Amino acid sequence: MQSTGGIIVKLNPEMHLSEKIFSKPEMIPSRYGYGEGLVELGEKRNDVVVLGADLTASVCANWFQEKFPERFFQLGIAEQNMTNVAAGLSLVGKIPFVSTYGVFSTGRAWDQIRTTICYAKLNVKIGSAHGGISVGPDGATHQALEDIALMRVLPNMTVVVPSDSIESRKATVAVAEKIIGPAMVRFGREKVPVITTEKTPFELGKAQVLVEGKDVSIIACGAEVYYSLLAAKKLEEEGISVEVINLHTIKPIDKKTIIASAKKTGAVVTAEEHQVMAGMGSSVAEVLVQNYPVHMQFVGIQNRFGGSGNPDELMNEFNLTEKAIINAVKKVLDLKKN
């Protein structure tokens, strides 16, 4: 447990979370973890190659390019072609990482991902950058708010949404070393709090119970994990015991952990920086409606496009901070009582 100004937050000691979560967490873009993961893989494996689409530095793929130029391929602004080239490279034994903004890597090239990669279960990895509204001034056209939905609907596709830079690195390495087949790793542009450590366990398909509670479960992914922890801390002041789960792997989903938490608390709030429709929250709802239905509330983008602005202002405008999560918790608890 960790004391925070008189409030007791029951952090799961097995998770080895950062001691600075509730004070001054280190702020690092999650895309840095993707770049670090690519370099780590490049140093360990000669079969890893990286493909870019004219946005190499923005997604930190240039880190790999600088160290392994002979294994980096710049395809220009031609994402559909890049995806097919990656498919071809996988057929000759390479592990290609397609690296660009999510609206292009998962949206523009969706047909190539579906028909060429997923249908044949090819070993292609997709770096889906600029995920969520916090992209900021680039605006709606560059904010990937639908990429989780687009990828999780495809058979054979693994979908991972890390919570910070450390987890992004671990996820990038894991999708190359632990699975053979299509996978997407989603990460953002702006700095986000580092909540995990090198000791924090990471296993594809295994959700992490970060805070143990009994009144309500908050299940989150990406940047919303941090806001969920802040919400849990503030709700403890009001005597509300919150369980916080980091669902970093959206597909395959950890049914066991989700069901167990719902049985314990009887109420669930999901939080994601993505469209509520067909996103992570929908995945959780599909699990619960078939196994253990409980009252639910969904925090996320509510059927609208993004916009240009300061990242913090956008997170507030689109109701994605701890305030929105706290309101959702109180609403679901009212439903639970009735």
Positions marked catalytic:
79
**What's the chain's length in residues?**
338
CA atoms within 13 A on the CB side of 226: 26
One-letter-per-residue 3-state SS of the chain: CEEECCEEECECHHHCCCCCCCCCCCEEEHHHHHHHHHHHHHHHCCCEEEEECCCCCCCCCHHHHHHCHHHEEECCCCHHHHHHHHHHHHHCCCEEEEEEEHHHHHHHCHHHHHHHHHCCCCCCEEEEECECHHHCCCCHHHCECCHHHHHHCCCCCEEECCCCHHHHHHHHHHHHHCCCCCEEEECCCCEEECCCCCCCCCCCCCCEEEECCCCEEEEECCCHHHHHHHHHHHHHHCCCCEEEEECCEEECCCHHHHHHHHHHHCEEEEEEEEECCCCHHHHHHHHHHHHCCCEEEEEEECCCCCCCCCHHHHHHHCCCCHHHHHHHHHHHHHHHHC
Hunting for tokens 């314990």 — which residue is that? 264
Distance CA 171, CA 246 (A): 13
For 54, list phi and psi in degrees, rounded to 5. 70, 10
Nearest to 269 by CA among 312, 304, 305, 319: 319
C-alpha 278: how far from chain center:
15
